[in-house]
């Protein structure tokens, strides 16, 4: 991956490591964090938001099975199941 502020990458640029030509990519995921060539984390934020939304819908469907659960317990479940997804990698950004 080549980090840059804009413009096209020269097609003649090649990186070789131990005899193998390395592929130049526009985005790369490392430890769940998406790095893009422009240095923006928007793709990473969109991915986290999608994962959190999926978890919210799953939590909501499971909560429908337990009608007697208190609001405080619902908040606790949100804090334990959804917030870790949203906060993942926040120290990087």
| pLDDT single digits (tens) 3-38 | 776 667 777 888 889 999 888 888 888 887 788 877
CA distance 46 to 67: 32
4 within domain boundaries:
no
What pLDDT does 1 receive? 64
CA distance 32 to 30: 5
Domain count, the chain: 1
The torsion of the CA quartet 47, 49, 50, 53, rounded to 10 degrees, works out to 160
DSSP at 17: E
What pLDDT does 6 receive? 66
What pLDDT does 89 receive? 72
CA distance 54 to 37: 27
- For 28, the domain range is 15-87
Mean pLDDT of the 68-89 span: 88
CA distance 25 to 82: 31
| pLDDT single digits (tens) 58-77 | 999 988 888 888 999 999 99
36 within domain boundaries:
yes
């Amino acid at each position: 991956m080549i980090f840059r502020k804009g413009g096209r990458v020269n097609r003649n640029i090649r990186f070789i490591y131990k005899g193998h030509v390395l592929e130049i990519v526009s985005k790369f995921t490392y430890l769940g964090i998406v790095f893009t060539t422009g240095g923006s984390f928007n793709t990473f934020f969109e991915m986290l938001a999608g994962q959190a939304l999926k978890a919210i819908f799953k939590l909501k469907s499971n909560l429908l099975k337990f009608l007697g659960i208190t609001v405080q317990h619902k908040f606790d479940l949100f804090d334990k199941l959804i917030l870790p997804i949203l906060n993942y990698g926040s120290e990087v950004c």
